[in-house]
Amino acid sequence: MRLLISALMLFALHTVAASTPALSVDHGQVRQPMPGRTVTAGYFSLHNASADAVQLVSASSPLFARVELHQHSHKDGMMRMEQVGRIDIAAHSSVTLEPGGLHLMLFEPAAGLSIGQSVPVLLQFANGQQLEILLPVVAMPKR
């Protein structure tokens, strides 16, 4: 009987591991910092396939001294941005970090970042979960 339970548990674990990951990211990018600038932005879509809401609470990267979660907002007709403490992703839904909205703010790159290089970013969630993602460096769009 004990053996049967063990086998069932193994099967259950295997099923969980084989299913689609609860959290995933696509359309990631980090903009190459402008010459002489030490700050840039990162964007991606974060998908939560799980039945529970999750909260992204922080991010870090070995290639940047500091990473913050930011939100753009309009105040008195001016575009501003501010740090946010967390980004909520409801169950079975997605949140997109994009220009003019939520974004990663990355400070003080370790070295010159080249186009196409992958920036590893570790996302930390309130439930203790972590997700390591790779964001390719793209050229800053011309205005």
| Choice between 49 and 57, CB closer to Cu ion | 57
| Choice between 42 and 133, CB closer to Cu ion | 42
Binding Cu ion by CB under 5 A: which of 22, 53, 57, 81? 81
Size of the site for Cu ion (CB under 5 A): 3
Pick the stretch among 17-25, 91-99, 100-108, 116-124 that binds Cu ion (CB under 5 A).
100-108
Largest CA distance in the chain: 70
| Choice between 49 and 81, CB closer to Cu ion | 81
Beta strand 78-83 pairing with 103-109 = unpaired
| Choice between 50 and 68, CB closer to Cu ion | 68
Give yes or no for residue 105 binding Cu ion (CB under 5 A). yes
For 80-132, the DSSP string reads EEEE-S-EEE-TTEEEEE-TTSSEEEEEEESSPPPTT-EEEEEEEETTS-EEE
Give yes or no for residue 70 binding Cu ion (CB under 5 A). yes
Rounded CA-CA distance 46/33 in Å is 23
| Choice between 49 and 105, CB closer to Cu ion | 105
Closest CA to 43 of 113, 111, 87, 101: 101
Q: How far lies 76's CA from each of 3, 69, 70, 84, 112, in Å?
A: 68, 22, 19, 20, 36
Give yes or no for residue 84 binding Cu ion (CB under 5 A). no
Q: How far is the CB of 1 from Cu ion (least distance, A)?
A: 58
Q: How far is the CB of 81 from Cu ion (least distance, A)?
A: 4
- Catalog residues that contact Cu ion under the rule CB under 5 A: 70, 81, 105
